[in-house]
Amino acid sequence: MGLKLAGDSILSQGLQRIQREIDDAFDSLLPVPEDNSARLVEAMRYAAIGGGKRVRPMLVATVAEMYGASRASAVYAGCALEAIHVYSLIHDDLPCMDDDDLRHGKATLHKEFDEATAVLAGDSLHDLAFEILGGRKVSEDPFVRAELVHALASASGHKGMAGGQMMDIVAETEGKDFDLHTITRLQQLKTGALLGAAVEMGAIIGKVPEEGRGHLRAYARDIGLAFQIADDLLDEEGDEEKAGKALRKDADMGKATFVSLMGVEDARAQAHALAQQAIGHLAQHGKEADLLRALATFIVERDR
Amino acid sequence: MGLKLAGDSILSQGLQRIQREIDDAFDSLLPVPEDNSARLVEAMRYAAIGGGKRVRPMLVATVAEMYGASRASAVYAGCALEAIHVYSLIHDDLPCMDDDDLRHGKATLHKEFDEATAVLAGDSLHDLAFEILGGRKVSEDPFVRAELVHALASASGHKGMAGGQMMDIVAETEGKDFDLHTITRLQQLKTGALLGAAVEMGAIIGKVPEEGRGHLRAYARDIGLAFQIADDLLDEEGDEEKAGKALRKDADMGKATFVSLMGVEDARAQAHALAQQAIGHLAQHGKEADLLRALATFIVERDR
């Protein structure tokens, strides 16, 4: 994977494990049919299998296991969440959106296939997510299935991720007027909502009562913001080859980011403070939460 | 509405009622927020409120009520299904797909707003559908919620509607080689899957056991095919002003349709035979199924 994980074997092993599990899940969920819709499934497979860090599914699985849930159930729910993440990247990369040619070091879907196929493959992964969560394989308990659906749909729709993307587009269209408060709100929706959903879905599978989820939500909020500040730092200072995508697009467009608003040093300090704060929220947990702690640290220290 | 409904007051009243209910449901589900994502919700409202015939929600509500379910629950589920239908029209109209400028007699969403907003508004309506079905307002019974999600996601994804759209795109790209069998299969997915989901969702809300749904599925299959043949006839012979969209695009592109493969007269006869066959499947029901019977007749006699 080329991730910067020296001396951090817990996280490295945790990510490699979930990467295998998610690739296997997508592979078995998406057999290529022998009809004229084969192209659609091939496109879904191209985008969904291999490449991603699978941070969100790892969060689902780790939280679920912390509360004694079965790994198989959590991996399957994590696969649904990852399908939403992948669909959002496909649509984000379209010419009418960010117009990107490169993703995870390979051609974006509309470049490898075509725009119409990319729109449809994104839409179909969007459906796949809810087909997984509505089906019995994710949980025998229909209440768990319905709660998972509601958590994920709320996080990805207009009050969550898509709402954040719209704010981002408005920011691009209307110039760089956004202040730190607005950028924070935008990013809490755009990337934070799905990270929050990851932890929420783990808690649902682990049957954690509503009132016992506060510290998990606080952890997710902090790593979400730390993740985005780190992303802005990478966009400013990173290596395009390692990142596997075009960098410095925001700066070139004169768009406000955490780095442009806070400066590199303050942004870096803030990201590290958030990671420490996230780890602080896990104080009630023992070593079963070590993967979450390692992830918080990794998020601000990664080089891609 | 300008629909051809002379002497058919049951259907006319049924459609007007569900149109009001669905418009009201979307209106209350989509308050415009006071932040930079307002544009997204305005776009969702533009596409979702007003205009549509609401045939699918009427199917959900009628079947559910035939089995004693509450109308409120069925209308809410029908609204989820309609959100999927509307999202698919938004994405279908995009320049990279069918590139249409007119829908329900007004500018398509990407013409009225822009392409990026249209992609996101479609995606957000897609999420809204599952947010509705995962939430408690549609049903107190989590099993019903989970089953509704699974039925709708399966019907709209790569094994259903989106798969049919892919086959349609492949047909356009590769010319007019499709035979009647392949066109039938394509249309059973592209339009038939959601009509089938409508009846299935009504049966789920009405708690009809699996083994009691055969005749409802047969009805849905027949009206789905009749609907598409009638659509091809309208595309060939219809009035663009009444239709509220561009016609004769398929013929201009030399694309195979039921009409090009069967001829106008045989296609019309086939549509009417399917409508009668659909009505035949309802023999076990009394006047509570009259709306379904009227719909079958309307589908092949409509002029838009």
Reported as a single tens digit per residue, the pLDDT across A243-265 is 666 666 666 666 788 898 899 99
The H or E element spanning position A16 is helix A9-29
Grade residue B204 by pLDDT with cuts at 50, 70 and 90: very high
Reported as a single tens digit per residue, the pLDDT across A30-69 is 999 998 899 999 999 999 999 889 999 999 999 999 999 9
Long-range contacts of A231-237 (CB under 8 A, 24+ apart): A231/A191, A232/A257, A232/A258, A232/A259, A232/A267, A233/A258, A233/A259, A233/A264, A233/A267, A233/A268, A233/A271, A234/A302, A234/A303, A234/A304, A235/A259, A236/A264, A237/A264
Q: What is the pLDDT of residue A6?
A: 46
Q: Distance from first CA to last CA of chain B, Å, rounded?
A: 10
What distance in Å separates the CA atoms of residue A24 and residue A17, rounded to the nearest whole number?
11
Reported as a single tens digit per residue, the pLDDT across A120-175 is 999 999 999 999 999 999 999 999 999 999 999 999 999 999 999 999 998 888 76
Q: What is the pLDDT of residue B255?
A: 75
Q: What is the pLDDT of residue A165?
A: 95
Q: What ipTM was reported for this prediction? A: 0.93
Q: What is the pLDDT of residue A172?
A: 80
The pLDDT of residue A210 is above 50: yes
Q: For chain A, what percent of residues have pLDDT higher than 70?
A: 91
The H or E element spanning position A234 is helix A214-237
- Eight-class DSSP state of B101: S
Q: Flag if A167 and B36 touch (Cβ within 8 Å).
A: yes
- Smallest Cβ–Cβ distance between A37 and the set B88, B146, B166 belongs to B166
* Residue the block writes with tokens 């070590």: A290
Contact call for residues B216 and B279 (beta carbons, < 8 A)? no
In three-state secondary structure terms, A198 is helix
What distance in Å separates the CA atoms of residue A218 and residue B203, rounded to the nearest whole number?
41
* Residue the block writes with tokens 């990279």: B96
The pLDDT of residue A114 is above 80: yes
Q: Which chain A residues are Cβ-neighbours of B145 within 8 angstroms?
A: 142, 145-146, 149
Q: Flag if B127 and A156 touch (Cβ within 8 Å).
A: yes
Q: What is the pLDDT of residue B280?
A: 98
The amino acid occupying position A231 is D
Q: What is the pLDDT of residue A171?
A: 82
Q: Which chain B residue is nearest to residue A91, measuring alpha carbons? A: B119
What distance in Å separates the CA atoms of residue B124 and residue B86, rounded to the nearest whole number?
11
The pLDDT of residue B64 is above 60: yes
* Other Cβ atoms within 10 Å of B267 Cβ, number: 20
What distance in Å separates the CA atoms of residue B158 and residue B165, rounded to the nearest whole number?
9
Contact call for residues B237 and B302 (beta carbons, < 8 A)? no
**What's the token pair of residue B109?**
């969403």
- Eight-class DSSP state of A35: S
Q: Which chain A residues are Cβ-neighbours of B89 within 8 angstroms?
A: none
* Residue the block writes with tokens 């209106």: B27
The pLDDT of residue B194 is above 90: yes
**Whose CA is closest to A122, among A75, A183, A165?**
A165
Q: Flag if A120 and B145 touch (Cβ within 8 Å).
A: no
Reported as a single tens digit per residue, the pLDDT across B89-104 is 999 999 999 899 998 8
Q: What is the pLDDT of residue B172?
A: 80
Q: What is the pLDDT of residue A255?
A: 75
Grade residue A177 by pLDDT with cuts at 50, 70 and 90: low
What domains can be seen in chain B, in order of their start residue? 9-301 (1.10.600.10)
Q: What is the pLDDT of residue B5?
A: 53
- Eight-class DSSP state of B184: H
Grade residue B7 by pLDDT with cuts at 50, 70 and 90: very low
The pLDDT of residue B158 is above 70: yes
- What backbone torsions phi and psi does residue A130 show, to the nearest 5 degrees? -80, -25
**What's the token pair of residue A39?**
């192209």
The pLDDT of residue A242 is above 80: no
Q: Which chain B residues are Cβ-neighbours of A150 within 8 angstroms?
A: 130-131, 134-135
Q: What is the pLDDT of residue B251?
A: 63
Grade residue B243 by pLDDT with cuts at 50, 70 and 90: low
In three-state secondary structure terms, A65 is helix
What distance in Å separates the CA atoms of residue B212 and residue B204, rounded to the nearest whole number?
11
What distance in Å separates the CA atoms of residue B115 and residue B109, rounded to the nearest whole number?
8
- Smallest Cβ–Cβ distance between A146 and the set B39, B146, B152 belongs to B146
- More confident call, B245 vs A221: A221
Q: Flag if A149 and B143 touch (Cβ within 8 Å).
A: no
Contact call for residues A56 and A80 (beta carbons, < 8 A)? no
The alpha-carbon gap from B287 to the nearest alpha carbon of chain A, in Å, equals 34
Q: Which chain B residues are Cβ-neighbours of A131 within 8 angstroms?
A: 150, 153-154, 157
- Smallest Cβ–Cβ distance between B124 and the set A116, A134, A158 belongs to A158
Q: Flag if B149 and A147 touch (Cβ within 8 Å).
A: no
The pLDDT of residue A112 is above 50: yes
Mean pLDDT, residues B145-149 taken together: 98
Q: Flag if A120 and B154 touch (Cβ within 8 Å).
A: no
What distance in Å separates the CA atoms of residue A41 and residue A120, rounded to the nearest whole number?
10
Q: Flag if B119 and A119 touch (Cβ within 8 Å).
A: yes
**Whose CA is closest to A60, among A141, A143, A162, A138?**
A138
Q: Flag if A36 and B186 touch (Cβ within 8 Å).
A: yes
**What's the token pair of residue B207?**
């708690």
The alpha-carbon gap from B30 to the nearest alpha carbon of chain A, in Å, equals 9
- Smallest Cβ–Cβ distance between B166 and the set A39, A127, A142 belongs to A39
**What's the token pair of residue B206?**
């009405």
What distance in Å separates the CA atoms of residue B234 and residue B227, rounded to the nearest whole number?
10
The pLDDT of residue B155 is above 80: yes
- Give the contacts of B201 (CB within 8 A, at least 6 positions apart): B60, B63, B64, B77, B78, B81, B148, B151, B152
The amino acid occupying position A259 is V
Mean pLDDT, residues B292-299 taken together: 94
Contact call for residues A80 and A135 (beta carbons, < 8 A)? no
The pLDDT of residue A190 is above 80: yes
Distance (Å) of CA B203 to CA A144, A157, A237, B141, B192: 22, 27, 57, 14, 17
Q: Which chain B residue is nearest to residue A158, measuring alpha carbons? A: B124
Q: What angle do CA A194, A198, A204 make, to 5 degrees?
A: 130
Grade residue A2 by pLDDT with cuts at 50, 70 and 90: very low
- Smallest Cβ–Cβ distance between A157 and the set B94, B131, B170 belongs to B131
DSSP per-residue codes, A114-183: -HHHHHHHHHHHHHHHHHHHHSTTT-S-HHHHHHHHHHHHHHHSTTTHHHHHHHHHHHHHT-S---HHHH
Q: What is the pLDDT of residue B87?
A: 98
Instruction: State which of A105-109, B82-86, B224-228 shows the largest mean pLDDT.
Output: B82-86
- Smallest Cβ–Cβ distance between A162 and the set B123, B130, B165 belongs to B123
Reported as a single tens digit per residue, the pLDDT across B264-284 is 999 999 999 999 999 999 999
